[in-house]
Structure 1
Amino acid sequence: MALFLTVFAVCMLIFGGVALVLLTTRTPRYRTEPEHLLDLFDKALDNRVGETEWNALIDYPIRHDEYMENVRRRARLLMDEHGWHGRVARGKPLLDEEGHAELHALRQHLAARTRLKRGEG
């Protein structure tokens, strides 16, 4: 009987510890920051970004900042209007010349707003 109670107590301690850990930890969240978009735009402008990396960041909605969500939507629209799927695989830039110019302007605008928001401006 003593062995049963010892095993039962150890099992309850383990199950209780696991339950406590599960109840107190939060679900990890990915939060897109302006630096993530600026880095992605820099890579796209230098023709160093792949479509997978572009789509992974641009297709993920940004819920914490309406301005950045609009920038993300604009970048997605640029890809729809001025990019073709498979261009990078063929050794071509992600966007055509007009899309490249618009992405550069969008990048400059986001960088200026980020500097102003941080008080560096």
Structure 2
Amino acid sequence: MAQFLLVFTVSLLVIGGMVAIMMVARTPRYRTEPNTLLDIFDKTLAGDVSETQWHAVVGYPIRHDDYLESVRRRAQGLMQEYGQPWQAAQGGFLLARTGREELKILRDHLAARTALRNSRSS
């Protein structure tokens, strides 16, 4: 009987502790920042990004910043229009030449806006 009570008490403590931890812990959130988009754009322009890496960043909606969401959607549109995932799999570029040119413009605009925003906050 004593062994049963010991096992029951330990089990109750472990399960109760897990429930308490789950009640207190928050859901993890991933926030895409401008530097994350700039990094993936730079890798894409250099030809060092896979389709999976691209979709992991650009395919994830950005809910905390409307401007970044619009940039992400434009980049996603570039992939739909100029994407060449078969070439990236063979060591080529993920986007066609025209797509890379448009991505470069989008990247430069985002970099300028980010630099301006950082200089204002400093």
2:46 maps to 46
| CA RMSD of superposed structures (Å) | 1.7
Gaps of 5+ in 1: none
2:36 maps to 36
Amino acid corresponding to residue 30 of structure 2 in structure 1: Y
Gaps of 5+ in 2: none
1:105 deviates by 0.7
**Deviation digits for residues 33-77 of structure 1, max 9, x if unmatched?**
111100000001111111111111111111111100000000011
CA distance in 2, matches of 1:7, 1:88: 57
Higher helix share: 2
In the comparison of the two structures, how many residue pairs are matched? 121
The worse-fitting range, judged by mean Cα deviation, of 17-26 and 81-90 is 81-90
CA distance in 1, matches of 2:51, 2:100: 15
2:27 maps to 27
Aligned 1:1-121 pairs, distance under 5 A:
1-119=1-119
8 Å Cα contact 2:84/2:93 also seen in 1: no
TM-score normalised to structure 2 length: 0.89
TM-score normalised to structure 1 length: 0.89
CA distance in 1, matches of 2:50, 2:12: 50
1:21 deviates by 0.8
Amino acid corresponding to residue 104 of structure 1 in structure 2: K
Provide the identity percentage.
53
- Aligned residue for 1:94, secondary structure, equals coil
CA distance in 1, matches of 2:96, 2:2: 77
